[in-house]
Structure 1
Amino acid sequence: MIDCTNFDRVFGSMDAFPYSSRARQEVENHRRTFGGALFIDKVLAALGLAKGSKSYPPKTDEVLRQLHKQITDANSIEDHHKLSVIFYILLDFDEDKADSFAHRAGVPTKYQIFMRGLWNMDHQAYAVALEHLAHPSLQAEFADDIVTTLVRHGSPDEDYTLPLAYFHTVQPVLKSPLAIELLFDAMVRSNVSEALAFSRTRPDAMREQLFQRLVADVLDERRGAETAERACELAALPFDAVEEGWFTSFLTTGAGKKLKVAKDTLMMRQIAVGQVSSAGEKGSWGTVMEGFKVGSGGRA
C-alpha cells in the first residue's frame, strides 16, 4: 500500500512535468469557458479546499508539492476523497501513472470512474466524460453543473444528444432553475412531446412557466420553415384542460400574443381538436399552414 503523504512516491520523477505554460493557459481558457470554475474547482470547494483551486494548475514542482500537502494534511477529508483528487491530478501526467496509483493506493473504482469523468469534462471531451459520468455505480453528483455544461458547451449545432442522454440515463433530481430551463430548452428543440411530458413533472408554478416557454420557443419565427413544422406538432399535442387554458391565454392575452403566428397557431389548434372543421368556413388546415409559413418568414 503506497504512502499517499509521500510526494515522491506518489508522483515519481518530475522530468515530464505536465504543466507547461501552454498547458496552464489551456486549463485557464477552459475555466473561463465554464464561468470561472472547473469541475476540479467544485470538488475542492465541496471538500473545503477552495484555496487549493488557486494552486491548480501548478506552475512549478514546488507549487504542486504544496497542493499535495494541502490535500493530504486536511484532517476533515476522508481518505478516499483525498485519493480521488490525487488521482485526478495524476491524470494530467499520464493515464498509466494514474491507473498505477489507483491500484497501489486502493482508490475505489467508482471514484476513479467519477474523477475520470470530471477530468474529461474539464478538458471538454464531453462524449468520453459521459461514458463515465453515466455509469450505473455513480450517484448524481454535480448533476446540475453537468447538465448546464453539456447543454451550453457540449451541444454543437443544437445537437442535444449528450445532455439528454445524461438526463435519461442518470435521472438526476435537478435543483438549479438554470439547469432545469436549459435541459427543458434542449428537450423542446429535440422533441416537443418529451418537453411537454417533462413540464408535467414540475411544481405547478414552474410547470406553467415551462409550458409558456415551450410555446414561445416552438413559435419563434426566426427558425423559418422549421417553425411551421414544429407548430403543427405543438398544435396536435394532447393538452389537458389546464394546459389548454394556458395555451389559449398565452396566445390571446399573454406575452405570446405578440408572436406573428399566434392567430394561425390558435386556428391550427382549433382544427386539431375538432372545434373547427378542417374544411369548414374558417379555412382548411392547408390554408392555415400556408398563412402560417408566410407569417413565420417561410415561403408560401
Structure 2
Amino acid sequence: MLTPPAMIDITEFNQVFTIPPDHGYGERLYNEISRNRRILEKLFFDRLVEVLKVNTANLYPPRTMQDLRDLHYRIVDSEIALHNKHCLLFYLLKDLSPSTHTETELAAAFAHAVHLPAKLWTFLEGLWALDRLQFQTATDYLTHPSLIPTFPDDILDTLLKHAKEEDARLALAYYHTVSPPLKSVEVRDRFFKYLADINVTEAFYWARARSGEEHRHLLELLIQQTLHSFAGEKRAARGVELVDLPLSEEEEEWFEAYLIEGRGRLLHGARDTVMMRRIATGRLKEAVRDGGVKGRKYDDVSWEVVKDGIGRGLGPRKDEDSFMEV
C-alpha cells in the first residue's frame, strides 16, 4: 500500500510523495489546473504561497516529476513554520491522491503522519475544492465552525462570480456563516447586487445598516439593480417591491434625486418609478404636477390619463399648496 510511514522526514521527497514514477501530474491534470486558474484568475494555492512568501517560481502545476521535486524543495527549504510546509505539501498530495488508487488517500495518510491539525486539514480541503470548482463541497468545509476565517472576501467573491445557478445560494450561506468583512468595495458591491437580486427588501435593510455615503451609494445601487437586472413580470414585481419600501425622509430625497437628476435618470422606467412611488406613498399632488412623465401607454393607459384621474379626484385641492397628503 502506497502510504507514508508513521514518521516521515518531509525534506525527503520520496518519503512525502510515495508514488510510482509514472504517477506525477501528467498532461491531463496539468491542463485541468491551468484551466481552473484561468477561470478563477487566481488559485487559492497561489494565494497561499503568496501570503507565506514561498517562491514557487511558477512551478505549480508541475509539468514533470523534476518540476515536482523542485517545487517540493522550494517549500521545505523556505523560511516558514513547519505546519505551513505541511499545509502546502498536503495540498499537492490532494492533487495526486485520485491517481494513486491506494486504499488510503495519499493526502489523508500524510496528514495523519505529520499530525496536521484538524482545522488546517478542513481549511485546506475547502481551498482545494474551490480550486477544483467544487463549490458545494468547498462551502461545506469552509463554513465549519472551527475555522478562523482566512481569505473570506476572496472566497465570497469566488462563490459570487463562479458558483453555478443551482449553487446560487452558497454565497449567501457563506456570508451568513462567516460574516466576511467586505473590505473591498468591489466585493461589497458585487455581494449587494447579488443580495438585491434575491430579495429587494432584505437588501434595503442591509444597506440601511451601513453608514453615511455608503448607505446612499447602496440604496442607489439597489434601485439600479432592481430596474436593470430583470425584464417582464419579474421586473414589474420587483419594481412594486421597490416603490413600497419604507424609506425615511432622507432616503426619499436620495431616491428621487438619483432617478430624476442623478445617473439613475437614464435607467429604463426611472420617472415611472418616481411616479409610482409618489402615488404609493399618497403624495398625490406631486404626482399630478409631475411633468416629467409623458403620455407613453401601458395596456392602453398613459400617465396623463392617470394624472387626470387623480386630479379630478382631488378637485381644487390639487392646486392648494397647503393640501395635506396622506
Task: Specify the code of the residue in structure 1 equivalent to 2:276.
Answer: M
Alignment correspondent of 1:102:
111
Task: Specify the code of the residue in structure 2 equivalent to 1:148.
Answer: D
Task: Specify the code of the residue in structure 1 equivalent to 2:124.
Answer: M
Alignment correspondent of 1:131:
140
Relative distance call for 1:239 and 1:9 in structure 2 (3 A) is same
2:74 equivalent to 1:70:
yes
Relative distance call for 1:53 and 1:218 in structure 2 (3 A) is farther
- Aligned positions, number: 284
- Distance in 2 (alpha carbons) for counterparts of 1:60 and 1:144: 34
Spell out the pairing of 1:235-250 with structure 2 (5 A cutoff): 235-250=243-258
2:89 equivalent to 1:86:
yes
Alignment correspondent of 1:52:
56
Alignment correspondent of 1:210:
218
Alignment correspondent of 2:234:
226
TM norm structure 1 = 0.87
Give the counterpart of 2:39 among 33, 36, 48.
Answer: 33
Task: Specify the code of the residue in structure 1 equivalent to 2:125.
Answer: R
Give the counterpart of 2:123 among 114, 120, 125.
Answer: 114
Alignment correspondent of 1:61:
65
Runs of 5+ in structure 1 lacking a partner? 283-287, 296-300
Shift of 1:195: 1.3
Alignment correspondent of 1:257:
265
Q: Could you list the runs of 4 or more consecutive aligned residues of structure 1 that deviate by over 6 angstroms after TM superposition?
A: 291-295
Q: Deviations over 1:107-146 (max 9, x none)?
A: 1111111111010100000111000111111122111211
Q: Which deviates more from structure 2 when the two are superposed, residues 128-137 or residues 232-241? A: 232-241
Q: CA RMSD in A?
A: 2.6
- Distance in 2 (alpha carbons) for counterparts of 1:270 and 1:28: 54
Name the larger-Rg structure: 2
Shift of 1:292: 12
Alignment correspondent of 1:298:
none
Alpha-carbon contact 2:21-2:65 (below 8 Å) kept: no
TM norm structure 2 = 0.80
Relative distance call for 1:228 and 1:19 in structure 2 (3 A) is same
Alpha-carbon contact 2:126-2:139 (below 8 Å) kept: yes
- Distance in 1 (alpha carbons) for counterparts of 2:302 and 2:59: 58
Alpha-carbon contact 1:44-1:53 (below 8 Å) kept: no
Alignment correspondent of 1:185:
193
2:47 equivalent to 1:42:
yes
Runs of 5+ in structure 2 lacking a partner? 1-6, 99-104, 291-295, 304-326
- Distance in 2 (alpha carbons) for counterparts of 1:22 and 1:263: 55
Task: Specify the code of the residue in structure 2 equivalent to 1:241.
Answer: E
Task: Specify the code of the residue in structure 2 equivalent to 1:88.
Answer: Y
Task: Specify the code of the residue in structure 1 equivalent to 2:130.
Answer: M
Alignment correspondent of 1:149:
158
Alignment correspondent of 1:285:
none
Task: Specify the code of the residue in structure 2 equivalent to 1:84.
Answer: C
Relative distance call for 1:135 and 1:290 in structure 2 (3 A) is farther
Alignment correspondent of 2:320:
none
- Distance in 2 (alpha carbons) for counterparts of 1:44 and 1:294: 62
- Distance in 1 (alpha carbons) for counterparts of 2:11 and 2:190: 42
Alignment correspondent of 2:208:
200
Task: Specify the code of the residue in structure 2 equivalent to 1:27.
Answer: I
Over the matched positions of the two proteins, sequence identity in percent amounts to 36
Shift of 1:82: 1.0
- Distance in 2 (alpha carbons) for counterparts of 1:30 and 1:292: 52
Alpha-carbon contact 1:264-1:292 (below 8 Å) kept: no
